[in-house]
Amino acid sequence: MRGTVVEKILKAHLTNGQLSSGEIGIRIDQTLTQDATGTTSYLLFEAMDLARVRTEASVSYVDHNMAQNGPENHNDHLYLQSIAAKAGVYFSRPGNGICHQVHLERFALPGKTLLGSDSHTPTAGGIGSFAVGAGGLDVAVAMGGGSFYLPCPTVIGVELTGQLRPWVAPKDIILRLLSILTTRGNVGCVVEYFGEGVKSLSVPGRSTCTNMGAELGVTTSVFPADEVTHEFLKAQGRDKGFAPLLPEANAQYDKITKKLHAEKDAAAIANIRAYCADAEISAPDDKGMVQASFSRIVIDLSQLVPLTARPGSPEYIVPVAELADVAVDQVLIGSCTNSSFHDLMVVAAALKGRTVHPRVELGIAPGSRQVLAMIAENGALADLVAAGARILESACGPCIGQGFSPGNGRVSLRTCNRNFTGRSGTADDKVYLVSPETAVAAAITGKFTDPRSLGFAYPAIAEPKAFKLDDGMMIAPPSDGSHVEVAYSETIVKPPSGQVLPDPLQAVAAIKVGDKITTDHIMPAGTLLKFRSNVPEYAKYVFNPLNKPGEMTFAQRCQSAGKAGKSAVIVAGESYGQGSSREHAALCPMYLGVRAVIAKSIERIHQANLVNFAILPLIFENPADYDRIEAGDELAVTDVSKTVEASETIRVRNVTRGCDFACKIQLSPRQRKILASGGLLKYTRDGGK
């Protein structure tokens, strides 16, 4: 990573370790939380007996639980506002906008570190921040002045050349990158964009790319801070102290190696060959796996075309033109990925004087109050309404299954970042991810349409020289919060802390799941989000999408194991824990008695959350051993304490089938200490660093 922007930021914030290998600790300048994760974060912060936050700026946003069906959500909001005042935290009121959009507008700065309890915190990488999504407990520790720990990253260089053609958008850049890197095998990496093409992208456009970097599974994504960044900050009235943050001319990016399946990943392998000049790809082994190594990805922006991610995963990328004339039933333009002023102005200009196709339901959610106010003042909002668009709240809403769900089996085009099946709130949804340009083309024509074929000129939208500045819904904390009375309620339950791992571990495989299980599968959102501040209640719904009618639920199977004096284990395939940073995907299983996860691979944020709540993450040494366990099998592990303390492998006994297999323990020395302590909260209370 020598000479990179990433190296410069990390070097300035390093508290532990070395920028060469192993685990490093970094100082965190800013934190953010949102209400779905924030209540738990602040309850955990309170459990550390700290009076005030010790960051440069911490912000509590309310943007997820806005429907307020029942008292739970408003109770959370009242708690969050009061604890923010007491702890020295800025509070963004409901209606002020989506956390990532507002943070980009009002707080994010080049060269700063940001830790957020939301997986799309890397949005701020578009302005040159090193912004990382993490579990709420990690964020609580950072608010208390503690370092954030991560593996010293491998920096993937993505060189952008050329310039986007009309109707091709920044969203198409990140969709192309997803088609190259996929959503798998990028744990521990950071994407750094560089090259002449960067200059042609606005800060909101860059942030679209870094936002969806979360779907790659990387730690974060970063753009340099240049004159474009400076102009954006000036327009937001906060350019004081700006300094360019650029890579050195001879910056060195790291070589990465990915394992891919020759047939299943044929498209990704072809794209690696096409976009990585130094790619080395091995012949398939006896299992059909190939090894692809490369050190730099080059994307010529002038050669990009409008792209879409097909239903099921953000990595299923095809050109929009391949789906021409496929009927579309619903279009949503919004989310933290694509709801900026520029995005909505392009959409409004395209719709001006036109009407939404009679078959299409169009919803538009401005990303922030600032965006909404500006399009209201300049007439663009009226153009959207006149065209037949529904104007939704400036919040996460449909992206997380909070309303505007599509009909059964209906095609929905969305400018969001994720299209996991069922995430929209409809079990058999058909959600495609697209740019605002492609979305508005479908809204006009009623079908998948390459926007370049619309027949009218691309709207020329200039970036504002001055954004509308009104922080009336951003409440600054008092200088002394000791007098503030925190608003607790009966629907807010103190979250449990972890427990020391039992030794020996005698457990039941409470569930066996396949590849790419997301945190939406583990802890569904949608209408269940209101239970986030009540773990005993929310835990009833662990793996709810996978529970089968007429059979015991996952929670009931865990409870049954507990009554028999046994713990529970989750068995999983590749990329377990994809998606959201929601720590409840570890916290609620821990509450139910889960003490280990055995998987072919586990994604970064989720593995950290498992450790934080004293759940042992194990990786099959031989992936074929996955087939030697079935749900309901009794498992046993001896010498847990000694093995976790120092060993790289551990043996698991399948008592039911009379066989043993080995698992890898891929943990840092600090994570081993956290597990030995019974979780991060106890570790921190005991003075651990």
**Model confidence pLDDT, tens digit, residues 458-468:** 998 999 999 99
- If asked whether residues 103 and 249 sit together in one domain, one would say yes
CA angle 417, 422, 427 (to 5 degrees): 155
- If asked whether residues 449 and 547 sit together in one domain, one would say no
Average pLDDT over residues 446-463: 96
Instruction: Report yes or no: 515 and 571 within 8 Å, Cβ to Cβ.
Output: no
Domain end position, chosen among 453, 479, 513: 453
- Would you state the structure tokens that stand for residue 489, as one six-digit string? 């309620």
Is the predicted pLDDT of residue 617 greater than 80, yes or no? yes
DSSP H helices in 446-518: none
CATH assignment at residue 176: 3.30.499.10
Output the average pLDDT for the chain: 95
- If asked whether residues 315 and 212 sit together in one domain, one would say no
**Total domain count for the chain?**
3
Residue 543 has a pLDDT of 97
- If asked whether residues 205 and 126 sit together in one domain, one would say yes
pLDDT tens figures, 174-217: 999 999 999 988 999 999 999 999 999 999 999 999 999 999 99
Whether residue 262 is contained in a domain is answered as no
- If asked whether residues 399 and 339 sit together in one domain, one would say yes
Whether residue 680 is contained in a domain is answered as yes
Domain end position, chosen among 278, 301, 324: 301
103 sits in which H/E element: helix 99-106
- If asked whether residues 379 and 515 sit together in one domain, one would say no
pLDDT over 70, % of the chain: 100
Domain encompassing residue 606: 505-685
- If asked whether residues 231 and 122 sit together in one domain, one would say yes
Distance CA 590, CA 499 (A): 9
Residue 527 has a pLDDT of 81
Whether residue 288 is contained in a domain is answered as no
- Would you state the structure tokens that stand for residue 344, as one six-digit string? 């909505």
Q: Which of 651, 423, 545, 486 is nearest to 81 (CA)?
A: 486
Instruction: Report yes or no: 507 and 568 within 8 Å, Cβ to Cβ.
Output: yes
Residue 44 has a pLDDT of 93
How distant, in Å, are the alpha carbons of 111, 324, 382, 471, 507 from that of 636?
48, 54, 65, 56, 6
Instruction: Report yes or no: 371 and 101 within 8 Å, Cβ to Cβ.
Output: yes
Whether residue 462 is contained in a domain is answered as no
> Which stretches does DSSP call E strand in 35-79?
57-61
Instruction: Report yes or no: 238 and 262 within 8 Å, Cβ to Cβ.
Output: no
- If asked whether residues 240 and 363 sit together in one domain, one would say no
CATH assignment at residue 649: 3.20.19.10
- If asked whether residues 182 and 247 sit together in one domain, one would say yes
423-427 contacts at long range (C-beta below 8 A, 24 or more positions apart): 423/520, 423/525, 424/398, 425/398, 425/401, 425/526, 425/527, 427/545
- Determine the 3-state secondary structure of 251 from DSSP: coil
- If asked whether residues 56 and 136 sit together in one domain, one would say yes
- If asked whether residues 448 and 509 sit together in one domain, one would say no
Whether residue 260 is contained in a domain is answered as no
Distance CA 208, CA 320 (A): 19
Residues near 253 by beta carbon (within 8 Å), at least 6 away in sequence: 1, 4, 155, 156, 157, 192, 295, 296
Is the predicted pLDDT of residue 580 greater than 90, yes or no? no
Whether residue 546 is contained in a domain is answered as yes
Residue 687 has a pLDDT of 83
Is the predicted pLDDT of residue 69 greater than 90, yes or no? no
Four-point Cα dihedral 174, 177, 179, 182, nearest 10: -100
**Residue 149 banded pLDDT, cuts 50, 70, 90:** very high
Residues catalogued as catalytic: 63-64, 118, 418, 580, 582
Whether residue 517 is contained in a domain is answered as yes
Instruction: Report yes or no: 165 and 302 within 8 Å, Cβ to Cβ.
Output: yes
Whether residue 275 is contained in a domain is answered as no
Domain end position, chosen among 301, 323, 339: 301
- b (16+ CB within 10 A) / e for 453-489: ebeeebbebebbeebeeeeebbbebeeebeebebeee
Distance CA 291, CA 546 (A): 33
**Residue 581 banded pLDDT, cuts 50, 70, 90:** confident
Residue 271 has a pLDDT of 95
- If asked whether residues 552 and 435 sit together in one domain, one would say no
pLDDT tens figures, 356-380: 999 999 999 999 999 999 999 999 9
